[in-house]
Chains A and B, each alone.
Chain A
Amino acid sequence: MLFTGPQIIPLGSKIESHSAVVFDFRDVERVAMALAPLQPHFESENPVTQLMVDVKTGKIKDDVLNEKVLSAIIEIKTSLEKIPALLQVLEKVSREIDTVISVGVASRCLSDGALPHEEWVRKAGYLLSPNGKTNLGLGRPLFNEI
């Protein structure tokens, strides 16, 4: 898991996906419900998670299903070994919706700065971008100091 505690911080990944084309929450629900059987941890502070009826199923509240949006981010934490399966599910469900999913994967670096998710994503047959976002780790207080 990512950012969950000192014992298990070093290995983990976060997968995010969002779209740049108008879509409604039925598409979001379809993606979330496809991912849910793999038991990811839907980030509780994420606004899309807060619209879920049940994070175990990924079901979204009925009253927002017809709402149209330009961007919605499904944010999950998972273990490294689940990355290939989650990406395969995401790829499959992306063919069943009429919008675009932009996919991102993040993890906390090892002590030498290496990213543990890289190997798992490559092994699963997906290409990683040369660019991305880097957290310098300058924020204070540190997580385990709180």
Chain B
Amino acid sequence: MMTRTLTFRESINEAIRLEMRRDPTVILIGEDVAGGAGLPHLEAAGGSEWGGALGVTVGLAKEFGRKRVLDTPISESAIMGAAVGAAITGLRPIAELMFVDFFGVCMDQIYNQGGKFRYMFGGKVQVPVVIRATIGAGLRAAAQHSGCHYSVFTHMPGLKTVVPSTPYDAKGLLISAIRDPDPIIFFEHKLLYGISGEVPEGDYTIPLGIADIKRKGKDLTVVAIGRMVHFALEAADKLFKDGMDLEVIDLRTLSPLDSKTVLQSIKKTHRLVVIDEDNPRCSMACDIIALICTKAFDDLDAPPRMVTGPHTPVPFSPPMEDYYIPSVDKIISTVKSMIS
């Protein structure tokens, strides 16, 4: 298969486009996913090229029409509930939650409805919905537009959670997510949209629930999520020059979790650091450390550590926000304190 360089943003757009071409029941709904709905000068030109607040869905309305690319009012409960209602009656909706922080106004439809239907109805219904949500600090977007919060959704049975870190993974995981019969929250880090990488043309899938070892190593295992995978790799490169050989595992899917890959790595390296941009309490970082402490305690040569955001909302002012985000330096000093 031919590959070429795409941005993370373009690879997500391509995944949606290919699935919408392949399956007429795939639709896209959300605030401004096309842009300028109903304005005569835009409708006449076949729709706006705005394509969402961060430009991810640009061009889809033009190709698939307003019937399948639906701009909504700012009604997040109605958007999420409509996606769930459509999913149980024959469509495969992709619904956009512009910023994950907005889950506060629509969690009932995501969790009590979408997440619980299959269980409550005794397994008689499938809820093939994908909710795309942007995450992450670093854009000076302040406390209500910068959280990660994937741990909140991962905590909830019935939902699956996916956090890609590269353009290649983003496309393959999103295609899998759209074809999956269960409700999935697909988290896109805003600061990854601009990164580039090799992406094959055409469709390919990356199975959910399989972590990816982004760097093989023998001295210490770093488990990372989303943007933090890149920080972990940067730290690993620097530490390699100092004689420390790190293994970097990108979880990719948080629910279901690929416990096996993490456990196997610890049996080899005997040391664990988890890098998680999310808040630390009841987090993925805690979860991975609990997994290793309960299932591989005897394999450990040092207490596991985590490098996470603090237990605060994301601050606005640059010095404070920079302090909030786990840094490469902090990863390096944490690793060094464990290998001496």
- A and B associate in one complex: no
